[in-house]
Amino acid sequence: MTDASGSTEIAVPTGGADEGSVLSAAARWFRSMFRTGSRKVLIVGLLTILIGGLVANTGQTAGGRIRVEPVSFLTQSGLVETGLLYIPSTATAKTPACGVVTIHGYINSVDTMDGYSIEMARRGCVVLAANQTGQGASQAPAFTDEFGGPAALAFINSLSIVRHGDIGIIGHSMGGWASVLAAALNPTAYRSIVLVSSSVSTPTYEPVPGTPTFPRNVLVDEAQYSEFSQLMWNMPSGSDFPDSKRMQTFFGASAPIVKGKIYGSIAAGTGRELLVQGTTHPGMTIDPSSIQHTVAWMQLTLKGVGSTPPGNQIWYWDEIGTLIGLLGIGLLLFGVAGELLRLPYFATVARDRPESRSMRGIPWWVGAAILVALGPVTFYWLQEWGSNNLPAGPYLPETITTGVAAWAVGGAIIGTLLFLLWHFTTRKDKRGSLHTYGIAEPNGTVDRTLIWRSVLLGTATVVATYAAVFFFGWAWSSDVRFWVFNIKPVDYAHMKIVLDYLWPFLLYFVALSVIVFGQLRPRMKSLGTFMLAVTTLLTIGYVAFLGIEYGVLFATGQLMTSSQPLLTIVGFQFVPVFIIIGTVASYLFWKTGRIFTGVVVLTLLVPSILVASTAVQGIPW
């Protein structure tokens, strides 16, 4: 049925949810927002970005008492390493301050360590938050020059506003290994270290001995539910850390380590302490207790750290602000796309939504269950296959992104085969067509002009969105993000890498769009409920997957798939990524009646997010 505007009205399917359901209630925000018009969505998005940036900057600078500056310096081999320098107003060449280096873990960046950086800078220390080599904006390849740790320590010691040698190092995960290596190469350049869910073991650079006298004054701040307990301390779970023989040797103990007890002598540089927080390995970076104990350790081991109580913290305002900015970027994308569709050149991209020939009733639920399960079921083995069989090089230089790309291609192939099986086993009078699948016109022809204008529309939408991302970073020296998920500006080096990964994601989004909007299209009467239904369909499997993995972890101390801690953590990013995929694809299909614009936006957007946020192992072409 077609309404007065020419849009096809889609009825609710048998066995589905209606307008009075919980699904409809949860979609009220979508309806109210998008009924106001794309121009208002665009304006709200811009205002939200501005508010988020101001909130984040207020937290990051402690209300203007800390100056934050991007910096760069060279590693031992001449690679450019980057970071953020937090300079408290009290630190000058005449009154040099204590210094702190914070180093993030694998597939993270400086923003991951904001809590530690902000709180130490608030207490009068000059803080260098360093990007490891091959990560963030630092030059590739990753893992080189001891992860960039020694260069970061040397750089902060070179500053006239820092009291040389009065330096603490805080490293999370692989950043802890970088800290130990920095200490090994610069033994007099620091006073103490905090290993945040990390250890003295550095597999890439073995052997680096951890002894009762090296490194100097170490706080081991671990996670009770660490996914990497085996890697870090050779123990099956975080609850077993006190029994670790590796840790006992490091502490100079012959019995289980007593948590909270200081071993050795801080004055002599042999101080050791173990603390265990009730969170996960990635959860440590936003854990107030971890930040509190880290501050307390630095107050104990460095000179001149301010006496502000460790529990007095404001860093979370930075997290709140960047989350608000992230939501603003999302609104901006929809507002830009909607406004572009109002222009005469792009108005022809909007076609009537084709009649739905998707499955109904029980077959729909079976098909939806297969789609929901397919991604999580293939999650580990397809990614592992890609990472193992497609080594990083000039092309496809990111191991993690290559694994995700292999998973995407594998999923597209499996999904397409199942789709074709359904299509060719359905009666001709019931099956769909290229038109009802959102590809062709009613007469079966493919409009090349429509495809070209869809490509331009999608490209313009992504460019405008990233212009706002660049502005956020330029104005406030921060990414739009929440916890482990962020949208980073894509520099020239990363843009070349994005081009390598476009084709596998293009295949994936074409296949996914045809399946969702051709075979499993929800029959909703409003844009808001349609977007929510599609997004739920695409996201719920990963939420359940993580719920099972972490339910087992919290119950037993070990992941259900204990051999895949890294990929399980990578799975966290799949939830926000598929929220983006679901909302963008459904919005643009609803507005244009075809899959093309949504495919273009997602093919450009998702690889850009992934590539800029992970480590570059190969040297790009």
| Residue indicated by tokens 């959860």 | 283
CB 173 within 8 A of CB 221: no
Task: Look up residue 298 and give its amino acid.
Answer: M
Please report whether residue 519 resides in a domain.
yes
Instruction: Please state, in angstroms and as integers, the Cα–Cα distance from residue 439 to each residue in 276, 417, 504, following that order.
Output: 55, 18, 19
Query: Does one domain contain both 38 and 157?
Result: no
Query: Does one domain contain both 103 and 240?
Result: yes
Please report whether residue 619 resides in a domain.
no
Q: Provide the whole-model pTM.
A: 0.90
Residue 416's domain spans which residues? Answer: 22-52+325-613
| Whole-number pLDDT of residue 18 | 45
10 Å CB burial of residue 455 (0-12, 13-18, 19+) is: middle
CB 280 within 8 A of CB 550: yes
| Whole-number pLDDT of residue 42 | 93
CB 39 within 8 A of CB 301: no
Please report whether residue 146 resides in a domain.
yes
Query: Does one domain contain both 264 and 338?
Result: no
Query: Does one domain contain both 421 and 364?
Result: yes
CB 109 within 8 A of CB 291: no
- Domain boundary at 258, 283, 313, which? 313
Instruction: Please state, in angstroms and as integers, the Cα–Cα distance from residue 575 to each residue in 15, 341, 552, 582, following that order.
Output: 26, 28, 19, 10
Positions in the chain short of pLDDT 50 = 1-19, 29-30, 32-35
CB 77 within 8 A of CB 144: yes
Tell me which residue of 604, 395, 391, 600 sits closest to 496, measured CA to CA.
395
Residues in the chain: 621
Q: Is 304 left (phi over 0), alpha (psi -120 to 50) or beta?
A: left
Cα–chain center distance at 471: 19
- Domain boundary at 289, 313, 337, which? 313
Instruction: Please state, in angstroms and as integers, the Cα–Cα distance from residue 68 to each residue in 95, 127, 393, 476, following that order.
Output: 19, 9, 35, 9
Please report whether residue 584 resides in a domain.
yes
Dist. CA 289–CA 59, nearest whole Å: 18
Query: Does one domain contain both 177 and 234?
Result: yes
Dist. CA 502–CA 185, nearest whole Å: 41
Query: Does one domain contain both 562 and 497?
Result: yes
Dist. CA 315–CA 322, nearest whole Å: 11
Task: Look up residue 362 and give its amino acid.
Answer: I
**Residue 489 DSSP one-character state:** -
- Domain boundary at 313, 345, 373, which? 313
CB 281 within 8 A of CB 112: no
Buried b / exposed e along 391-424 (16+ C-beta atoms within 10 A): ebeeebbbbbbbbbbbbbbbbbebbbebbeebbe
* Residue 191 three-state SS: coil
Q: How many domains does the chain have?
A: 2
Dist. CA 16–CA 298, nearest whole Å: 57
Dist. CA 439–CA 593, nearest whole Å: 9
Query: Does one domain contain both 201 and 274?
Result: yes
122 sits in which H/E element: helix 114-122
Dist. CA 472–CA 489, nearest whole Å: 9
| Whole-number pLDDT of residue 333 | 97
Please report whether residue 96 resides in a domain.
yes
The CA angle 495-608-328, to the nearest 5 degrees, is 125
Compute the Cα dihedral for 614, 615, 617, 619 and give only its sign: positive
We report the CATH number of the domain holding residue 113 as 3.40.50.1820
Q: How many CB atoms lie within 10 A of CB 248?
A: 17
Helix residue ranges per DSSP H, 348-491 = 361-377, 379-389, 399-424, 448-476
Tell me which residue of 324, 544, 350 sits closest to 457, measured CA to CA.
350
Q: What is the 3-state secondary structure (H, E, C) of 53-117?
A: HHHHHHHHCCCCCEEEEEEEEECCCCCEEEEEEEEECCCCCCCCEEEEEEECCCCCCHHHHHHHH
| Residue indicated by tokens 């530690």 | 116
Query: Does one domain contain both 334 and 274?
Result: no
Segment 108-117, tens digit of pLDDT: 999 999 999 9
CB 514 within 8 A of CB 595: yes
Dist. CA 152–CA 298, nearest whole Å: 18
Query: Does one domain contain both 42 and 121?
Result: no
Dist. CA 379–CA 11, nearest whole Å: 34
Please report whether residue 523 resides in a domain.
yes
Cα–chain center distance at 288: 20
Query: Does one domain contain both 246 and 391?
Result: no
Query: Does one domain contain both 388 and 437?
Result: yes
Strands 66-74 and 80-88: antiparallel
**Residue 171 DSSP one-character state:** E
Query: Does one domain contain both 488 and 434?
Result: yes
Please report whether residue 2 resides in a domain.
no
Helix residue ranges per DSSP H, 158-199 = 174-185
Please report whether residue 60 resides in a domain.
no
Dist. CA 252–CA 244, nearest whole Å: 12
Q: Please measure the distance between the N-terminal and C-terminal CA atoms of the chain and give it in whole angstroms.
A: 53
